[in-house]
Every structure is written in C-alpha cells, then in structure tokens.
Chain A
Amino acid sequence: MGPLTSRLLALESRRGWSVFCGLLLVAAVLVPVLHLATPPDSPLHVPAYMVSLLGKYLCFALLALSLDLVWGYAGALSLGHGAFFALGGYAMGMHLMRQIGERGVYGNAGLPDFMVFLNWKELPWYWWGFDGVLWTALMIVAVPAALAFVVGWFAFRSRITGVYFSIITQAMTFALMLAFFRNEMGFGGNNGLTDFKDILGYPLQSDATRVALYVASAVMLAAGYLVARFVVASKLGRVLMAIRDAESRVRFLGYDVTAAKLFVFTLSAVLAGIAGALYVPQVGIINPSEFSPAQSIEVAIWVAVGGRGTLFGAILGAFTVNGAKSVFTGLAPEVWLFFLGGLFILVTLFMPKGIVGLWGQLRAKIGEGVQNVAQKHRA
C-alpha cells in the first residue's frame, strides 16, 4: 500500500467512511433502482421528476462544495462562482448544440439554429472542436480554470482580500453576463443554448439517459468531495486555514500565499465547471441568467446555511435550501425570496456554524441545562 493510498484511507474515520459509502449507495444505486424497478403505483416508487430534481440538487451540491473550498478554508468569499458553473455549462451546451446536426428547425448541420437565424455564414472559430467529446471535456475543465487562474493571479498577487475580493468576483460574473447576453458573442444571446437532442448518442428525453446523468452527478459529487477532502486534510489545507486566520503571518513563515490561494481557487473553479456541465443536459438549457450575481450569492447562502468550512455542510446546505425552494415555489412563489432572505439572517444570527454546527450548539445547551438542574437539586 503506497503512502498515497494510506492517506486516502485516512481521510475519514471508520464511521466517516460508512456514512460516505451509505450516502453514495442511496444516491447512486437506491434511487435509480426504486425509480426503474418499482411499478409507478408502488409507495416506494421514485417518480421521474424526482430523479431529475435530485440530479439538479447534486450539481448544486458540487457547486456549493467548490465554494466552500475557497470560502470555508482559504477565507476568500467568491461571489462569482456561478460564472465558473455557467462556463462549464456553456461548454457542455455547445457540444450538445453540435450534436443536434440536421435535426434543428433550419436543418443546417453546419450551423446551430440561432446562427442561421442571425444570418451567419460559418461557424465562429471558438466553436471548432466542440463536436468532439474529448475537446468538450477539456474545455469544461480548462475554461473555468483559466478564468479563475487569471482573475485569481491579479487579485491574490495584489493582496486583494475580504470584501474587495468578493466585489471583484461579483463584477467578473456580472461582466460575463452582459457579454453573453449579446447576440454577436455567438453564444445564443438572451435565449442561450437549448433544444438539445442527445448526449453521446443517447436521447436526452429517455428515462435511461436521465438516470445515467443522475448517477454521473452523484458519482462526480462523491469524487469532488474526496478531492476536496484530500486537499483540506493535507498540510496545504492547514496552510489555507492559517491564511484564513492570519494571512501575513503565513507569509512570514515562508509560504507562498498567492500560489496556495491560486491553486485552491483554480481547483474550485474546475469543480464548479464540472457541476455546470452535468447540470445543463439535465435541465435542457443554459442561458446568461446563470451568470447573474444573485445566483452566485445564493450559492454562498447554501454554504452558510449548511455550515462553512466543513465540506459536508455545503452539500447539506445545497440540498436543504434548494429543497425548501422547490416546496415554497410550489406553494407560494411570491414569498420565496423573503424566506431566503430571512433564512440567511436567522442563520447568521443564531447558527454561525450552520446546520452542521447546530448539533454541537444543542449539545452544549443541553449540557448547560443538565448542569443547572443538578446545581438546583444540590442547593
């Protein structure tokens, strides 16, 4: 057993691994089996809409996880993480557009519908290569990484921290949104990319494809969690936490703070990009609204609600808030935003460590209560 394997095994305690494997089994095996193998009228049946909804949540959870890595550990609150998610999504969307071929409204195999509509004669150079799966996979990872590397390099080198970093990342996603809204950018403008037909030759509308995408999302989330866990459990993870607590002190210790932050910011962008790429085929559309600053702020709320700096909390928060969103927008869509705002205020005030920290808080409270009662009895 190599040193790396033993370190991987040591990432979690025995209990941690059982929880991890248990959750992965439920998400990646039990849900699809209950969907495919039970009759629709069985009480155990998981309906198709539930599978695609959970698939969406899994992508959001991966996005939240990626933000927790930079915010919870390195202390840099990115309010532009939606941009990396959207870029990964656009890369996937471009591939799916090229897969439509002659089945578009205009039946033009060489050009996507919206380009024909705009009277474009040929495919722009940056669309070349998206017919291929490998090139697309590369771009899903490379484009968010490159953007994060460049923005991070300028920001961290100039020692921009705290709220200024948040503002810069917010401006980044806003600028991208405005750019992607423009038709002449060649990304479908306002409408974005949609009307996808199939992925890797399998029809997107079919049940089996949906389940496959769902399982892929669950597996990617698990893999992303392990990668993030490996980073935060390493010595580099402790360097990042030290940067969060006292950045200049870390410099005097001789660590390259800029490089450490740049590494984790870029890695985080890659995870967010993969999340976006898995999200797009499941919802069937990608448009510039994914770049909107409000989307990125919502991601920060998921992480805060779940409990930042815990990784698991980010996943929990993404499921909790989005679950509440699905319920509320069904029951009373007009109060959803008030609920979200109120939730954020309540969590900040009463649950600074989020849902994950609630258990510890409760235990401390109960312990106090027991002690008080015991003292009264003695008196």
Chain B
Amino acid sequence: MWRRSTVPEGDGTIVAAEPKASAVPARAGRRTAAAPAAAAGTVLYLDGVTVSFDGFRALNNLSLVIAKGELRTIIGPNGAGKTTMMDVITGKTKPDRGHVIFDADTDLTRLDETRIANLGIGRKFQKPTVFEHLTVFENLELALKCDRGTFRTLFFTLDAARARRIDEIMGLIGLGDRRAFRAGQLSHGQKQWLEIGMLLMQEPQILLLDEPVAGMTDHETEQTADLILDINRDRSVVVVEHDMEFVRRLGAKVTVLHEGSVLAEGSLETVKNDHRVIEVYLGR
C-alpha cells in the first residue's frame, strides 16, 4: 500500500495496463474459448485470476503458464502478489474471478486444500512449517504418498520399500544422520530441507517453493540450489524468491510480478534490462 503514495497515480495505471497488453496476444485464442483448457505439455495454467482483500487487488487479472518439467522463478517487490498466487493455486484462497487449470483439465478453484494436495501439488511455505514434536523420520513418513483415509492411516504399517524410500529422501536432503532428531531441534536451513523432503515424499507433479533460502547461510543457499536443480529433473518446480544470486544460480526463466499481474517474463538478463522492471524496483 505504501508504494501507492510514492508512485504517482498516472504511472501506476500505465504499469498495470502494459503487461496486460503484452499478455493478451499470446493467449488470445484460448481466451475466446468458453471453457478454459490448457494446451498439452502444460502442468499449470492461471487464467485471468483476480483476488481482492477489502478492495485491495492482491492479484489483478493474473495469467501464467508453467510447462511440464519446467523450472520457473518468480520475483517481484513486496506485496506483488507472489504468496497470494501460491494461496490460490493450493486452494487456501478462492479467487474472485479466473481459473487455475492443473494438468490440462482440472480447475483447482473448485477444490479444497486436501484434494489439491492429493492431485500432486506440493507447497513449501515461507516460514518452515515442519512438525516440531515429531522426528525427522516421522515427518517424512506423514508426507509419504499413500492412502490418506482416516482408518487406513490408523491401521497403516510401513513396509520395507517405503522405509527405504524415506531413507533415500533423508539422504538426498542431507539429513541422513538426523533420523531420530525431533524436527524442532534442527537448524533453520535443515528445517527448510526437511520440508522440501516432505514435498518429495508426496511425489508431486509440481512443487511450489515460497522463499526456500530465506534466512540461510551462503553455503546452505548453494546446497539448496543444487537440491532444487536435482529435483527439477523429475518434476516442475516454481520458486518464489528475493535472493537474486540464488535466482541467477538456478538459471531458469523468470517471471516478474507487480501489483498482482505479470510485469515481465524471460531470462534473468532480459528481465533485468527491462525498463519497467528497473522502474518498479528502483522506483520504490
């Protein structure tokens, strides 16, 4: 909100209008169709999503396409709508307008968090939320992809193959020697990795990571980048991040969000030299 006072009204409307103009031609054909459907090879398609909180538009006619197997980084100033976008995809927030199409034909805006998670969309929150009173192993076991029914869970027994899978992931996230530690005893960076490990246990098609390296040391940040690149070999990953060094290291396509819609899209170099992006970042 405070940005509004520093940017003159006129400028604000121009910035908001321009990305819309650039986005329309690319998707014009699909927009005219009665029921939205994503092209083949698309894992996630946001179509004209608008979310308002008390008159403030957190997302403003946002459209975005993520291809299967793609790694995408999303940047943008505070309040650009990055977290709200994650909330809409995972069903935490229902949009006022627009659709979120997963895997060609599933409209996520009609489903709740549980259903969406079971479809194969994993989300890591900004603040690491692991279950502090459970051990590293138990945290991963809870995330394990299997029948989530209440009675099935009551009579669940862990077979050898699944136990091995947990051990495998524990090794991948570098917590192999922390098996019986309570998650609450882990360092901040380790909690972030544990949460990424939990997402992997769900075997999702797409992973949404909200600021995965916030509060990490440089060394931990490097390791996290390698981990994400490793994960991206099997599935799509969307990373929201502030840390430009980290974004550079991932070397993926970048989307810049501003005031709830797409401001620019392309490689990090292209985006960096875009005059509107410079204006938004330096103008604040």
Contacts and interface: CB of A to CB of B under 8 A. Distances in A.
Given A238-B141, A263-B150, A245 B133 contact: yes
Interface stretch (A80-88, A228-236, A326-334, A357-365): A228-236
A373 interface: no
B202 interface: yes
B125 A249 contact: yes
B148 A3 contact: no
Interface stretch (B6-14, B94-102, B154-162, B240-248): B154-162
B90 A252 contact: yes
B184 to A, nearest CB: 9
A242 B114 contact: no
The contact size tier of chain A is 20 to 34
A255 B134 contact: no
A239 B153 contact: yes
Interface in A173-231: 231
Given A238-B142, A253-B143, A246 B131 contact: yes
A246 B150 CA distance: 18
Nearest to A240: B153
Contacts of A239: 142, 153
Contacts of B142: 235, 238-239, 242, 250, 253, 255
Interface string A1-32: 00110010000000000000000000000000
A256 B150 contact: yes
Given A235-B141, A239-B142, A242-B134, A254 B157 contact: no
Contacts, number: 77
Contact of B138 (A238, A253, A257, A263): A238
A234 B153 contact: yes
A346 interface: no
Contacts of A231: 154
Contacts of A259: 149-150
Nearest to B138: A238
Contacts of A255: 114, 142, 148, 153
Contacts of B92: 248
A254 B156 contact: no
B111 to A, nearest CB: 12
Nearest to B139: A242
B129 interface: yes
Contacts of B113: 248, 251-252
B228 to A, nearest CB: 19
Interface string B109-141: 000111001100001010001011110001001
B125 A251 contact: no
Given A235-B154, A238-B141, A254 B133 contact: no
A260 interface: yes
Contacts of B129: 246, 249
A234 B153 CA distance: 8
B198 interface: yes
A256 B154 CA distance: 13
Contacts of A251: 112-114, 117
A103 to B, nearest CB: 46
Interface in A261-302: 263
A254 B141 contact: no
Contacts of B156: 234-236
| Residue from the set A3, A231, A238 with the largest chain B CB neighbour count within 10 Å | A238
B123 A242 contact: no
A237 to B, nearest CB: 8
A241 interface: yes
Contact of B153 (A3, A7, A246, A260): A260
Given A238-B142, A249-B125, A254-B202, A7 B157 contact: yes
Given A234-B153, A256-B114, 16 more contacts: A3-B157, A4-B155, A235-B142, A235-B153, A236-B156, A238-B141, A241-B131, A241-B134, A242-B134, A245-B132, A249-B131, A250-B142, A252-B113, A254-B117, A257-B114, A259-B150
